[in-house]
Chains A and B, each alone.
Chain A
Amino acid sequence: MAGLHPNGPKPARLTAGRIGLYAFLVVAALFFLLPLYTMVVTSLKSMDEIRLGQIFALPAKLDFSAWVTAWSGACMGTVCVGIRSGFWNSVAISLPAVVLSVFIGAVNGYALSLWRPRGANLLFGLLMAGGLIPYQIFLYPMVRAMANIELYNSLAGIILVHVIFGLPLVTLLFRNYFVSVPEELCKAARVDGAGFWRIFFEIMLPIAVPMVVVVSMLQFTGIWNDFLLGLVFAGRDNLPMTVQLNNIVNTTMGERTYNVNMAATILTAIVPLAIYFLSGRWFVRGIAAGAVKG
């Protein structure tokens, strides 16, 4: 960059710098893709082929039996029913938990930003503190309290726990969204005689649809990927997929069936991945919005 040529010819398209740039990106892409490639390839191999120790080699012939086993026959301890039940448990946990937490979060954000009843700031501060504090300090008393109201080890219990622990983030995102809504809109509706709930359902919720989508995606992937809360609160019959996956893979009995493990791993990741691939733009926006937290 010694000379300055504001009107001169554009630099040659492929300079050393450009080549270096692409080389960096390609190497980085390989690093990020390698685990996914390995998972897919391994899941399609037979155990005999896996024992050869050539993790990157393509399978000699496609063998989908590991996928079938992972879905409906893999063992967790002594029970061999596959990860299928975990899949449906995760669905049954995630859907209601997402709907409930997004609804409550939207109401919270709306009330906290546009109505500001007494103590609003205190409540918001408490929620933010609750969101920062490690779960471990809440767990044991929560277990006891849930047991007392007979929700421990139940589907309703794990859903409730997810809703409660989701409140800080969901409320924060909706509050930040509603803060940018002009207050006049709310005032005009009040002059017209609309109350708290009517303004919410007829004006604010429709305005907030983009945020609802973003928050739902964030909450869904967050709850689907949860391990700790599911492990502690769900109970044997409702264990989410992540917990079952860990039980399948880290089971101590017999030889490790790596092909089945990898197939089960892909199956566990497939729903959040599908959400990400199908609506990447929303996902990115949600992450960027979530990052404003703090």
Chain B
Amino acid sequence: MPIKRKPNLAATIALLPTWFAAVAVFIGTMAWSIRLSFTNSTLFPSSTYVGFAQYSKLFSSAKWLASLQNVLIFGILYVAGCLLLGFLLAAALDRKIRFESAFRTIFLYPYAMSFVVTGLIWQWMLNPTLGIQASVRSLGWESFVLDWVVNRDMAIYALVLAGVWQGAGLVMVIALAGMRGIEAEQWKAARIDGIPVWRIYVSIILPQLGPALAAAGMLLAMGVIKTYDIVVAMTNGGPGNATEVPAKFIMDNLFGRQNLGLATAGATVLVLGVVIAVAPFRYAMHMRARAKGAA
């Protein structure tokens, strides 16, 4: 435990710019945005309060509702896909494989690329007239269909595919680091008991990786709410509203349609969503830390 000491002036001054950023930018602008969401602001901010009118308008907008549904589908499949594929890759690489570092490099490199680049590559690959579909058809399989980016029902899965391609390597790195930290004794004990390798991974390794995988999942989930660039680059929300997402809805209304009140109402809903999603997690961490401190 730190000893109580006199507050140091230099340390206090050194933190002033950060205090300014935290209070003025993070708190101040958020409060401003929330305030705007209760006004009838359009192109310019207005101070005419309209209560929850923007919110009711928001939730009667088909586009907003579609965007919520889309981000939910995308988020669940993207996080689950990254965790599953990442864990499988890590487990495979953990099996004393030749060329391990080459494989690791191949699986992780997409993570260095931006979502704009990722979106553009996959848009190109899934383009029905020139991409994979055309290529497979020219090999003689005339009925082959892979038109996800232009297909209303499949476009959201195209985003998931691109997202998992980009993010699975992150989970792999974290999981592999965790696996390498597990003691050899446990392996020996499990092998002597005759437990098959896959069971060891599922029943012994996986639970121990829990916190690391939860952190990775959390990291990916935070990205989901901000999902914007990959949609703009890959489908621009289309076809129809099939890949519309809240972050894009807000941006469009903020800068394109000059609908400030509606946009800030949407942003407020997003923030509430984050708070609701994070609060139980933080609470659990807090309680665990306290339990540890008490022990």
Contact A246–B116 (Cβ < 8 Å): yes
Q: How far is the CB of B251 from chain A (nearest CB, A)?
A: 7
Tell which of B3-11, B57-65, B75-83, B148-156 binds the partner: B3-11
Asked, given contacts A34-B125, A195-B10, A228-B229, whether A134 binds B271 with beta carbons under 8 Å apart, the answer is yes
A1-33 near B? 1/0 per residue, CB < 8 Å: 110101000000000010001101100110111
Contact A133–B30 (Cβ < 8 Å): yes
**Chain B interface size, under 10 / 10 to 19 / 20 to 34 / 35 or more:** 35 or more
Q: Which of B26, B107, B124 contacts A130 (CB 8 A)?
A: B26
Contact A291–B130 (Cβ < 8 Å): no
- Whether A294 is near chain B, meaning CB under 8 Å from some CB there, is yes
Q: Name the residue among B34, B120, B250 with the largest chain A CB count within 10 angstroms.
A: B120
Contact A115–B11 (Cβ < 8 Å): yes
Within 8 A of A (CB), among B208-257: 212, 214-216, 218-219, 222, 225-226, 228-229, 232-233, 236, 247, 250-251, 254-255
A129-148 near B? 1/0 per residue, CB < 8 Å: 11011111111111001000
Contact B8–A117 (Cβ < 8 Å): yes
**For B111, what are the chain A residues with a Cβ–Cβ distance below 8 Å?**
287
Contact A118–B120 (Cβ < 8 Å): no
Within 8 A of B (CB), among A140-194: 140-142, 145, 164, 167, 171, 183
Tell which of A69-77, A91-99, A265-273 binds the partner: A265-273
Measured CA separation A111–B8 after assembly (Å): 10
Within 8 A of B (CB), among A100-138: 104, 107-108, 111-112, 115-120, 123, 126-127, 129-130, 132-138
Within 8 A of A (CB), among B118-142: 120-122, 124-125, 129-132, 134-135, 137-138
Query: Which residues of chain B have a CB within 8 Å of any CB of chain A?
Result: 2, 7-8, 10-12, 14-15, 17-19, 21-23, 25-30, 32-34, 36, 85, 88-89, 92-93, 95, 97, 103-117, 120-122, 124-125, 129-132, 134-135, 137-138, 165, 169-170, 173-174, 177, 192, 194-197, 212, 214-216, 218-219, 222, 225-226, 228-229, 232-233, 236, 247, 250-251, 254-255, 260, 263-264, 266-268, 270-271, 274, 278, 281, 285
Query: Which residues of chain A have a CB within 8 Å of any CB of chain B?
Result: 1-2, 4, 6, 17, 21-22, 24-25, 28-29, 31-36, 38-39, 42, 50-57, 104, 107-108, 111-112, 115-120, 123, 126-127, 129-130, 132-142, 145, 164, 167, 171, 183, 195-197, 221, 224-228, 232, 242, 245-246, 249-250, 258, 261-262, 265, 268-269, 272-273, 275-277, 280, 283-284, 287-288, 290-294
Q: A246-B232, A277-B105 are in contact. List 19 more A-B contacts (CB 8 A).
A: A1-B194, A25-B92, A53-B134, A54-B138, A108-B14, A126-B23, A136-B266, A137-B267, A137-B271, A138-B26, A139-B251, A227-B229, A250-B233, A258-B124, A268-B117, A283-B108, A288-B173, A291-B215, A293-B218
